Amino acid sequence: MTVSIPDPSRTTGEAVRPTRRALVAGSVGNFIEWYEFGVYGYFATVIAANFFTPEGGNDLEGLVKTYASFALAFFFRPIGAAVFGRLGDRIGRRPVLILVVLLMTAATTLIGLLPTYDTVGAAAPWLLTFLRVLQGLSAGGEFGGAVSIMTEFAPDGRRGLYGAWQSFTVALGLLGGAGVAALLATVLSEQALNDWGWRLPFLLTLPMGLGALWLRLRLEETPAFRSAGDTRGADEQVGGAVAPLPTPPAAEVARAIVLGAGRIMGWAAAGYTFLVVLPSYLQSTLGASFRQALIATVVANLGFAVSIIPAGWLSDRIGRRPVMLSGAALVAVAAIPLLNLLQDADRSNLVKGVAVFAAGAAVGLMAGPGPAMLAEMFPTRVRYTGLGLAYALSNAVFSGCAGLIITKTIERTGEVDIPAYYTTVTCAISLLALLTLRGDDHRGPLRDGRGDRRGDGRGDERGVGR
């Protein structure tokens, strides 16, 4: 059976406390993860100079190598999602989330202590890439567990709102990284920033990680996982009188993972293009200064942050499908005009600011309902693994490679509209995948794997265990 937490407005303070704690403990790891990924993206040109560009080397080629390291880390996320997801579905969400936040914190902090190319030569980029791989593994295990925690604790009818906090803390993490980068760019000289100032944002992860660890140590296991248990435990506790929750066929889970990845493809590609890759694009392609590029990115991230929670709330009212379709359609239609506007030297900064804010808000329409949508595709016994892999695969291909694809293609072709083409195509494909969503997936409890969760016996090929 599926255990649901009652509406907090009608429960005692004791019942409300675990639900709120789940939101905070689940969110804090996402904040750290995306703070670091944002910092790496915002300081890409500085990192390229310190780790990938020997004296006399080509700056653009160094930036391409920097994004290659960035992309490699993303391709380890599916491995982390599979390994940690399997653990999370077997031993619980809580212990695995504790482990991944420890690994994430250690890897990010060590980046701030690495020697550069001038100090250790060719070993520097390899050391950086190794730590990026560790981050990729831990980040792969973060999303599935955090979203499982949030949605499994969420009251019926509020999963979109609760899951939206995962995406909201992504926005906060990116904004936090951009804010720290902008502050350092303001108070430090360019020379100091390139020499040692870039290290400070990575070192700040240590106190953040210790705070996240403390929160997760106080976290309870989710009711859904406690209800599911493992097969042996269920048989021992009830003497075999109640059948344990079944594990769905692997082919069925794999099909749902691919479909889930397709549904969030546009979110992954547009999110990273507009929210992380934008600073390097504005600097290397349009000749903007570091400060100008960061300001544009902060504005885009503000638009993203502002729309996420309302989008999640709205998806609880009218469904995930119309909200996410609207976001994907808006990005697909507006990407090329947006980039042309940014390239127009005669346009005012105010007009450009409104445009990038709106672009971020459109991505938020996909990101707000996205976590709940993925959680609703998988039953309890495979939820951590399934939604984590769908997210990690989509991000590995369409987020992690965004900077590399865009930068390398511009370098080879000289075509400055590549970011717009990239986001338009990916969002168009996402539109097709999102059309397969059922209109009533947001209603009722999460499925536990015992057939159709609504008890009408109708099943549905668009998810697992229906």
**According to the model, what pLDDT value does residue 451 have?**
53
With cut-offs at 50, 70 and 90, classify the pLDDT of residue 59. Answer: low
pLDDT tens per residue across span 217-250: 988 888 888 887 644 344 444 444 445 556 778 8
With cut-offs at 50, 70 and 90, classify the pLDDT of residue 304. Answer: very high
Using CA atoms, how far residue 61 sits from 54, 58, 133, in Å, is 11, 5, 21
Asked whether residue 450 is assigned to any structural domain, the reply reads no
Percentage, residues of the chain above pLDDT 70? 86
Asked whether residue 342 is assigned to any structural domain, the reply reads yes
* Torsion angle of C-alpha atoms 396, 173, 260, 397, degrees rounded to 10: -10
Nearest to 245 by CA among 23, 450, 19, 43: 450
Domain count, the chain: 1
**According to the model, what pLDDT value does residue 450 have?**
59
Q: Which of 74-83, 118-127, 222-231, 299-308 has the lowest mean pLDDT?
A: 222-231
DSSP 80: H
Using CA atoms, how far residue 291 sits from 37, 133, 179, 287, in Å, is 19, 29, 11, 12
Asked whether residue 227 is assigned to any structural domain, the reply reads no
Percentage, residues of the chain above pLDDT 90? 41
Q: Which two tokens stand for residue 273?
A: 């293009």
**According to the model, what pLDDT value does residue 3 have?**
39
**According to the model, what pLDDT value does residue 387 have?**
94
pLDDT at residue 462 greater than cutoff 80: no
pLDDT tens per residue across span 15-44: 456 677 888 888 888 899 888 877 887 787
What's the whole-number mean pLDDT along residues 340-361? Answer: 86
Nearest to 73 by CA among 129, 1, 22: 129
Domain extent, residue 282, equals 18-221+248-434
Asked whether residue 9 is assigned to any structural domain, the reply reads no
**According to the model, what pLDDT value does residue 417 have?**
87
Contact 7/155 with Cβ under 8 angstroms?
yes
Asked whether residue 94 is assigned to any structural domain, the reply reads yes
Q: Which of 234-238, 275-279, 438-442, 447-451 has the lowest mean pLDDT?
A: 234-238
pLDDT at residue 464 greater than cutoff 70: no
**According to the model, what pLDDT value does residue 27 have?**
87
pLDDT at residue 2 greater than cutoff 50: no
With cut-offs at 50, 70 and 90, classify the pLDDT of residue 463. Answer: low
What's the whole-number mean pLDDT along residues 289-302? Answer: 81
Q: Which two tokens stand for residue 116?
A: 């550069």
Q: Which two tokens stand for residue 112?
A: 């701030």
The CATH number of whichever domain residue 98 belongs to comes to 1.20.1250.20
Asked whether residue 6 is assigned to any structural domain, the reply reads no
pLDDT at residue 285 greater than cutoff 80: no
Asked whether residue 374 is assigned to any structural domain, the reply reads yes
pLDDT at residue 11 greater than cutoff 50: no
**According to the model, what pLDDT value does residue 305 have?**
92
With cut-offs at 50, 70 and 90, classify the pLDDT of residue 270. Answer: very high
With cut-offs at 50, 70 and 90, classify the pLDDT of residue 313. Answer: very high
Q: Which two tokens stand for residue 414?
A: 């000289």
**According to the model, what pLDDT value does residue 342 have?**
83
pLDDT at residue 465 greater than cutoff 70: no
For residue 120, which amino acid is it?
Answer: V
Q: Which two tokens stand for residue 163?
A: 């899951």
pTM of the model: 0.82
What is the rounded CA–CA span in Å between residue 302 and residue 34?
15
- Using DSSP's 3-state secondary structure scheme, residue 97 falls into helix
Q: Which of 47-61, 166-180, 376-390, 418-432 has the lowest mean pLDDT?
A: 47-61
Q: Residue ranges of the alpha helices (H) in 76-122?
A: 77-91, 93-111, 117-120
Please name the residue that has the structure tokens 């989330």: 97
Q: Which two tokens stand for residue 381?
A: 């016994």
More confident residue, 43 or 66: 43
Kindly report the average pLDDT of the chain as a whole number: 83
Nearest to 294 by CA among 306, 273, 278, 271: 278
With cut-offs at 50, 70 and 90, classify the pLDDT of residue 255. Answer: very high
Contact 285/416 with Cβ under 8 angstroms?
yes
pLDDT tens per residue across span 108-167: 999 999 998 888 888 888 898 899 899 889 989 999 999 999 999 888 889 999 999 999
Asked whether residue 324 is assigned to any structural domain, the reply reads yes
What is the rounded CA–CA span in Å between residue 149 and residue 144?
9
With cut-offs at 50, 70 and 90, classify the pLDDT of residue 389. Answer: very high
pLDDT at residue 12 greater than cutoff 80: no
Which residues lie closer than 8 Å to 107 by C-beta, 6 or more apart?
A: 131, 132, 134, 135, 138
